[in-house]
Amino acid sequence: MGRGTGEGMGAVFWSDLGLAPYRETVALQGRLRARVLSRSLAGYILFLEHPPTITLGHSLRGDEGRSALRTGLSELERAGIAVVEVDRGGKATYHGPGQLVCYPVVSLKELHLGVKRYVGRLMEVVVEGLSELGVAAELDPSYPGVWCQGAKLAAVGIRVEERVTTHGFAVNVAPDLAAFRHIVPCGISDRPVTSLAGLGARVPAREELIRVLLGQMRLKLKIEPAYLAPEQVWAEGKE
């Protein structure tokens, strides 16, 4: 991807962080958000995977959060699955290897987008990107996220503070779907979760899926992301 970012828009950088612990990436997003605000950048787009982690959105606290878990905390700990309360919207989600996560830390002011339109554009990015790969995904006005054959294929949940976003979306490529049985996914108890592998679709290489999603972000968000090496991203987050 080239470095130009559109008339009047600050720079947008993207990176693939590989496998990254959940709490560390939440902290990184916070630091990058501060840089976006202080330097008038359009932002950063982070792709990564997480070790097995259950996250509980800000609507789930205390007893309500535990009610979203179908497995006890001690059993989850023995299974090596972390449980983290987070500041994004949405309810319970699962992250783990085989799932590609995308965290855009972007300025809605620079992108000339409101929150609702931004979320809609993110979901369009996933739907159109999967279409390029031959997967007929769709949106459901009654439920958040991206769906295929009545099952959830990608989750979306963001936070916006001072018009800069954190968190984002997660596409189930080939994760262990049994792990989703530990939660009520996104508060929806009567619809299953699926993956590209679970659908019998072609499983793209990580690099291909990132390329396709970035291409859709160029179109939907009207940006031109420039590559930034992972070590540079972590370093920028520390400055």
The DSSP result for 130-191, as a single string, is: HHHTT---EEETTEEEEEETTEEEEEEEEEEETTEEEEEEEEESS--GGGGGGB-BTT--SS
| CA–CA distance, 205 with 210 (Å, rounded to integer) | 9
Give the 3-state secondary structure percentages of the chain, helix then strand then coil, rounded to 5.
Answer: 35, 30, 35
Q: Which two tokens stand for residue 15?
A: 């990176």
Q: Cβ atoms within 10 A of the Cβ of 191, count?
A: 16
**Side chain identity at residue 183, one-letter code:** I
Of the listed 69, 186, 201, 223, which one is catalytic?
A: 186
Among 50, 31, 47, residue whose Cα is nearest residue 39: 31
8 Å CB contact between 51 and 97: yes
Q: Is 102 a catalytic residue?
A: no
Q: Checking DSSP bridges between strand 226-227 and strand 12-19, what pairing results, if any?
A: parallel
13: number of CA atoms within 13 Å, CB side? 17
Per-residue pLDDT of the chain (239 residues; tens, 9 = 90+): 333 344 445 689 999 999 999 999 999 999 999 999 998 678 999 999 999 999 887 554 555 445 678 888 889 889 899 888 887 766 788 999 999 999 999 999 999 999 999 999 999 999 999 999 999 999 998 888 999 999 999 999 899 999 999 999 999 999 999 998 888 766 666 789 999 999 999 999 999 999 999 999 999 999 999 999 999 999 986 76
In 92-191, which ranges are continuous DSSP H helix? 108-111, 115-132
Tell me the domains of the chain and their CATH numbers. 12-236 (3.30.930.10)
Task: Tell the burial category of 79 from Cβ atoms under 10 Å away from its Cβ (0-12, 13-18, 19+).
Answer: exposed
pTM exceeds 0.85: yes
